[in-house]
Chains A and B, each alone.
Chain A
Amino acid sequence: MRAFHRSVVVLAALAISAGTVVAQPKKAPAPPAGGDAEPEIEIDPAADAPPAGGDEIDMGAEPGPGDLDADMAAADAANANAVKAGPAVRTPLSWKDILVVVRKPFLKARRTELLPMVGTSVNDNMVRHYSVGGQLSYYLTDVLAIGVEGQYYRPSFREPFDLVARQARRLPTINTLKWSAALNFNYVPVYGKFAVLDKRLITWEVAFTAGIGAGQSEVEERDKKFPGFTNLLIMPNVGASMRFFLAKWLTVQVGIRDYVFLDKFEPTDRSPTMNATADEAKSNADTALINNVMFQIGVSFWLPTSFEYTTFR
């Protein structure tokens, strides 16, 4: 019976002590005793102070035997000291010299961006063009991409279109856009991050775009008795856009693009005897340089949907 009580007490004490030790917060590890332990560098505020003994830097405990990496590192350090020549340069080192650079949270190199987008013209007070389209871009590097885009346009006449006819008794001469396509080059010179309501960080960037493409416009006939005509346009474009990163595969993009082209407009003098046919009217059309500035917004999907960092953190 006495032996029984002693066994119970001993086992209970062992169990309680073991559980208590495990449940406690982790204490600072003891110096490695065995050969399998990794050498550790202690981030100690006292380590910022220069060592009192001289120029040596204390990198922590000596590695135990059997650690190949530590042995090679020690051998390299010894060799470096052995071949050191010339005047010694004292370089104060401390943890404060290590700059923490956050990795870019989104990598684009060798990824494809599919951007469905909608847009509206912003600089024409007679007709507003709404567009729907898309852009497919391949990023050669993290800042440089090549892509193709296509857009389909729908016009909407604005208030001055009617006012000019009603108040000034003049019929406006306008063309509407039908479609456009372009080959674009994108360059990303600006990136940054911002805090929303001091709670959440969002990364964004600014991209510049330049491209060359083609499109089609159509004359809005002032008098429906006379046929209109269409124009095939050479359309270079330049623009800038902002991209907001929401996920590794999802971004939101808003931007401004200026499509520049020479357009042909319906001649003002059309009658049964003059510029009556579409070909005649087109050959005598008035030409003007047009800047069609579009505001565009879209959601980008990225392929592959994820990426891996190739550099150390």
Chain B
Amino acid sequence: MKKHTFLVVAALLAAEAANFGAGIPEAHADRRQNSLANDVAVRHRRLLVRGRFELAPLFESTINADFRHIIGGGAKLEYHLGDMLSFGVVGVFGTALNTGLVKKIEPTLEDAADPATREPSRDEFMTRLNSMPIHGAGYVSITPWYGKLAAFSQAYLAFDFYFQAGVAYAQLKSDCPASVCNDPSPGMSSGPDGMTPPDNNPNNDDPLNSGSRLGLYIGGGIHVFMNDFIALDLTIRDYAFTDNPSGADFNANLAVTKDDARFMHHLFFGMGVSIMFPTTVKRTP
């Protein structure tokens, strides 16, 4: 009798113990892991860009240009579809400044061209350099990172990083007068019946580095928000298109032709002040 009682009790306890062990994960799941595990990274976040237009007057300057720095002013207009996706356009009017390299070369050149050498005269060298009066881009922008920072433990500012890609446009300009660029048929025979051979002098050829260019655009930058609707906007932009900045013979065929242009990167640093519209922000739950 006692033996049977013990066996029945032991079986009941074993069964209950098995149920007890199996029930732990469900019964105590809420004690080991709270709702933060599946929550967003930031709650009560100010939606500083979502659903807002961004208008940014800006200043741009080339970085490490070879022959002419381009500096100028313009604006960026962008609409943010969400926290991470936006599209926009940027346009800049610029002026050109000679780089240190040009300032070193120019004084060493002769005033007049010497037909006995292939050395350009001062005018031949300077007037063939091109400038970029207008440039811009249309782009799609991704903002994968946002956050806040403390500066000197005093100023607490929101910021975000963004990356852009799109289509670049540039208007190039060079001013080689007819008195300098006077070769009517660079690299080719000319004259009646083509009897005049090429002059093999690229310094008097048309530089072929003016006009409109389409290319690729990529950029990356940071917004640092001063308040709910004004942000400092710092950007590195690369406008890549075919160009021949010196307007000279690049491929050493003794003539300036379209083949001398190559796909080049034009790096710019931009700084602007972004104004967000509407000026009020919403918060996430």
**Which residues of chain A have a CB within 8 Å of any CB of chain B?**
4, 7-8, 11-12, 15-16, 18-19, 22-26, 122-126, 159-160, 163-164, 166-170, 189-202, 204, 206
Contacts and interface: CB of A to CB of B under 8 A. Distances in A.
A190 B101 contact: no
Nearest to A12: B12
A197 B84 contact: yes
Contact of B125 (A168, A195, A206): A168
B145 A8 contact: no
A220 to B, nearest CB: 15
8 contacts: A11-B9, A23-B20, A24-B27, A123-B63, A169-B118, A170-B108, A192-B150, A195-B147
Interface stretch (B165-173, B179-187, B225-233, B244-252): B244-252
Given A19-B19, A163-B248, A194-B145, A4 B5 contact: yes
Contacts of B108: 170
Contact of B151 (A170, A189, A196, A204): A189
Contacts of A8: 5, 8-9, 12
B65 A167 contact: no
Nearest to A123: B64
B66 A125 contact: yes
B65 A125 contact: yes
Contacts of B248: 163, 167-168
Q: Which 5 A-B pairs have the closest CB atoms?
A: A194-B147, A192-B149, A167-B248, A195-B41, A23-B23
Chain B CB within 10 Å — which of A11, A160, A166, A198 has the most? A198
Nearest to B202: A167
Contacts of B84: 197-198
Given A123-B64, A192-B149, A200-B41, A23 B27 contact: yes
Interface string B120-155: 100001000000000000000000111111111000
Given A11-B12, A192-B150, A192-B159, A4 B4 contact: yes
Interface of B: 1, 4-5, 8-9, 12-13, 16-17, 19-20, 23-24, 27-28, 30-31, 40-42, 63-66, 83-84, 99, 101, 105, 108-109, 117-120, 125, 144-152, 159-161, 246, 248-250, 252
Q: Would you call the interface of chain B mostly helix, strand, loop, or mixed?
A: mixed
Contacts of B118: 169
B64 A170 contact: no
Contacts of A166: 249, 252
Given A125-B66, A190-B150, A193-B148, A19 B20 contact: yes
A164 B66 CA distance: 10
A56 to B, nearest CB: 33
Contact of A7 (B5, B149, B160, B250): B5
Given A18-B16, A159-B66, A206-B149, 7 more contacts: A4-B1, A15-B12, A19-B17, A163-B248, A190-B151, A194-B161, A196-B145
Nearest to B161: A194
A199 B4 contact: no
Chain B CB within 10 Å — which of A8, A168, A189 has the most? A168
B16 A125 contact: no
Contact of B16 (A16, A160, A164, A204): A16
Contacts of A163: 66, 246, 248, 250
Contacts of A192: 147-150, 159
A24 B20 CA distance: 10
Contacts of A190: 149-152
B30 A167 contact: no
Contacts of A23: 19-20, 23-24, 27
